[in-house]
Structure 1
Amino acid sequence: MHLLVAVGTDRHPFDRLVDWLCEWHAEVADRVDLTVQHGHTRAPVRPDAVPFLCHDALQAAMAGSDLVVCHGGPATILEARRHGHLPIVVPRDPAHGEHVDDHQQLFCRRLGAAGMVALCESREALRGALGSGLADPDRFAISADAAADAQRAAVRRVGQIVEDLVAASARRRPRAWWPWRRPGRAGARR
């Protein structure tokens, strides 16, 4: 099994999440490969830890992972979902100096209540989610995001409307040509 941990690119360290993951991984290292994108967090002593991943590398890592654990950044969450993962999310907490305010906590609680993320706000909740994922990785697999399907359908519909309008305008008879004269210039003497 392969697990990706992504803390994003925010300048605030997120030692809490990385420490929790490394502690858990020490107990299951024989069964789980781990990639840790740690950002500005203190680098864990691991060969599979990288500060940052470019967009393409992050996409490849998500596509090749069985589970994704991430911070509460909207873009990271949406990318994980786009790759078919129900992300296990630990939002940054400003009380620990992990962000400037509580927007990640509020956002993730809303997504958690809607079933769009597996919200983990404590070490115990994270361990529980990881244990469930290790036992049954399919529990954290989702089909294509319904919003993405709706967006593709809307784009197809707009395209069809444009094609219909273009076709209809091509069938219209051309208008009669009227000579245009500037107002106030008709009959002006030279």
Structure 2
Amino acid sequence: MIFVTVGTHEQPFNRLIEYIDSMKRDGMIEEEVVIQTGYSTYEPKYCTWQKLYPFQQMAKFVDEARIIITHGGPSSFIMPLQVGKIPIVVPRQKKYDEHVNDHQVEFTQEVAKRMGTIISVVDVDKLGDVIKNFDEIVEDMHGGSSSNNKKFCEELEMIVNDMFKEKRK
């Protein structure tokens, strides 16, 4: 199963949801897909979906899913990391009116580069290849899925602090 969550940000993330739905329609994804669509306006036709799921249900989906795809909000991609899974993270982008700026792009690229615990996919057109090769990508990642939660949180805090220092200059 593939679980997709776009969080609870009030701007739609139709671009990701439509792309996943079209991949399911076209047979590029054969397994079950469950999507938490949040405030998106597109309603998937080929995937199971709901606007919002209770936390316990989200946790169950994350636990059961082979692949978790999230937007770039830390709360969404930390949950899979806490259970030892590597999420695919597709950051929202300002140019598509998915967020107020591109902080998710910058943040997820830094986390992927510095920590190697997420797969950041900025160009949604590359998502199909990442899904297709997911198992090999995860196998090749130096961080693996056995990351230490405390170390992860400490390093994440350093990244956030560094980013804010750079913004103040």
Structure 1 spans left out of the alignment, 5+ residues = 152-190
Asked if the contact 2:111/2:117 (under 8 Å) is kept, the reply is yes
For 1:112 and 1:143, how far apart are their aligned partners in 2?
13
Equivalent AA in structure 2 for residue 17 of structure 1: L
Per the alignment, residue 30 of structure 2 pairs with 31
Per the alignment, residue 124 of structure 1 pairs with 125
Q: C-alpha offsets along residues 156-179 of structure 1, whole Å, 9 cap, x if unaligned? A: xxxxxxxxxxxxxxxxxxxxxxxx
For 2:148 and 2:52, how far apart are their aligned partners in 1?
29
For 1:116 and 1:20, how far apart are their aligned partners in 2?
24
Tell me the SS of whatever aligns to 1:84: coil
1:56-75 aligned within 5 A? 56-75=56-75
Identity of matched residues, %: 21
For 1:116 and 1:91, how far apart are their aligned partners in 2?
15
Q: Relative to structure 1, is the Cα distance of residues 94 and 149 closer, same or farther in structure 2, using a 3 angstrom cutoff?
A: closer
1:47-86 aligned within 5 A? 48-86=48-86
Asked if the contact 2:25/2:46 (under 8 Å) is kept, the reply is no
1:162-177 aligned within 5 A? none
Equivalent AA in structure 2 for residue 96 of structure 1: Y
Asked if the contact 2:21/2:47 (under 8 Å) is kept, the reply is no
Per the alignment, residue 13 of structure 1 pairs with 12
Residue 38 of structure 1: how far off its partner (Å) = 0.5
When normalised by structure 2's length, the TM-score is 0.78
Equivalent AA in structure 1 for residue 128 of structure 2: R
Residue 147 of structure 1: how far off its partner (Å) = 2.8
Count of equivalent residues: 149
Per the alignment, residue 93 of structure 2 pairs with 93
Tell me the SS of whatever aligns to 2:91: coil
Residue 124 of structure 1: how far off its partner (Å) = 2.8
Residue 83 of structure 1: how far off its partner (Å) = 1.9
For 1:100 and 1:34, how far apart are their aligned partners in 2?
28
Tell me the SS of whatever aligns to 1:110: helix
For 1:51 and 1:12, how far apart are their aligned partners in 2?
13
Equivalent AA in structure 1 for residue 90 of structure 2: V
For 2:113 and 2:149, how far apart are their aligned partners in 1?
17
For 2:104 and 2:46, how far apart are their aligned partners in 1?
27
1:105-184 aligned within 5 A? 105-114=105-114, 115-133=116-134, 139=139, 142-148=144-150
Pairwise CA RMSD of aligned residues?
2.4
For 1:46 and 1:23, how far apart are their aligned partners in 2?
8
Residue 73 of structure 1: how far off its partner (Å) = 0.5
Larger-gyration structure (1/2): 1
Moved over 6 A (4+): none
Per the alignment, residue 3 of structure 1 pairs with 2
Asked if the contact 1:7/1:37 (under 8 Å) is kept, the reply is yes
